[in-house]
Amino acid sequence: MNKLILIILLLSSLAWAGGQKIAHLTIYSSSDDIEIRLNSALLGKTPIQKLSLQEGHYIIEAVNKNSGVWSAENVTRDIFLQKGQDTTIYIHFPKMVKINSVPYHAKLTLDDQFIGLTPATLEYETYRGKKFLLEKSGYKPATFVLENDKPQFYTLEPLVLNRNEEEKHSFSHSLFQSNLKTKFLFLTGTVVTHWLAFYLKNEADDNFEKYSVTGNPVLMKKYWDNTQKYDRWSDISLGVSYALLGGLIYTVIK
């Protein structure tokens, strides 16, 4: 009798397994350890090979590990897996290079084509070896060639006018030379606090990401508290940055 029951259970389990609609999914990426989410749930990090899934519709999201305001966005794929099908997906994140200057909001052009204002982010492979021009009113233009994917930072030199040019461009002189120390302090403070705000916001995002994937209640509280703390200090830094920017504008137009 016991043998008969075991045989029935075995045949039932085989029939159940045979009726499942199983597909296999493999995911590679341009760089290892890219975090993958499947239908918003954390799946693991690449490479993921021969993952068995039931037939159906899935949304795959690859999370860019270089998170931040200048980074490429996450990559999302919408797929349908069929029974008995082996599907392989390759995720590619382009290399991004950051361009910044002092003063910021300098005009960035390539072959007379406007690219944007600093700080800016470019796809390295697209613009590698290209010669760019940075321009800002009151400063000497600067050129550079994009030779590597490291962050690029340039300081523009202020224009130095002789007496005749000062008289001819009295407004320009007033705008860029008078109260130079005060303007420099306002400018430096604006740039530093603005960068600090971005840094703190990135820290808040990182902690929220950890909070959303951990199942440990102690770590959840820690990451949530850190998220709120960094968000609060980011808002404060951004407010100070705008206040300093207002002071800079006032010293220029007064």
The pLDDT of residue 129 is 94
pLDDT tens for 113-138 read 999 999 988 888 889 999 999 999 99
Quick one: fold of 94-159? Immunoglobulin-like (2.60.40)
Query: Is the whole-model pTM more than 0.75?
Result: no
The least confident of 7-21, 112-126, 206-220 is 7-21
| 20-91 matches 94-159 in fold | yes
The pLDDT of residue 16 is 44
What is the domain partition of the chain in residue ranges? Answer: 20-91, 94-159, 179-254
Whole-number percent of the chain with pLDDT over 90: 26
Q: How confident is the model at residue 166 (pLDDT cuts 50, 70, 90)?
A: low
Select from 3.90.950.20, 2.60.40.10, 3.40.50.300, 3.20.20.80 the CATH code of 20-91.
2.60.40.10
Q: Is the predicted pLDDT of residue 14 greater than 80, yes or no?
A: no
Q: Is the predicted pLDDT of residue 228 greater than 50, yes or no?
A: yes
Output the 3-class SS for the chain. Answer: CHHHHHHHHHHHHHHHHHHCCEEEEEEEECCCCCEEEECCEEEEECCEEEEEEECEEEEEEEECCCCCCCCCCCEEEEEEECCCCEEEEEECCCCEEEEEEECCCCEEEECCEEEEECCEEEEHHHHCCCEEEEECCCECCEEEECCCCCCEEEECCECCCCHHHHHHCHHHHHHHCCCHHHHHHHHHHHHHHHHHHHHHHHHHHHHHHHHHHCCCHHHHHHHHHHHHHHHHHHHHHHHHHHHHHHHHHHHHHC
pLDDT tens for 38-77 read 998 888 888 898 899 999 999 998 887 665 444 456 788 8
Q: Is the predicted pLDDT of residue 183 greater than 90, yes or no?
A: no
The pLDDT of residue 11 is 45
Average pLDDT, the chain: 80
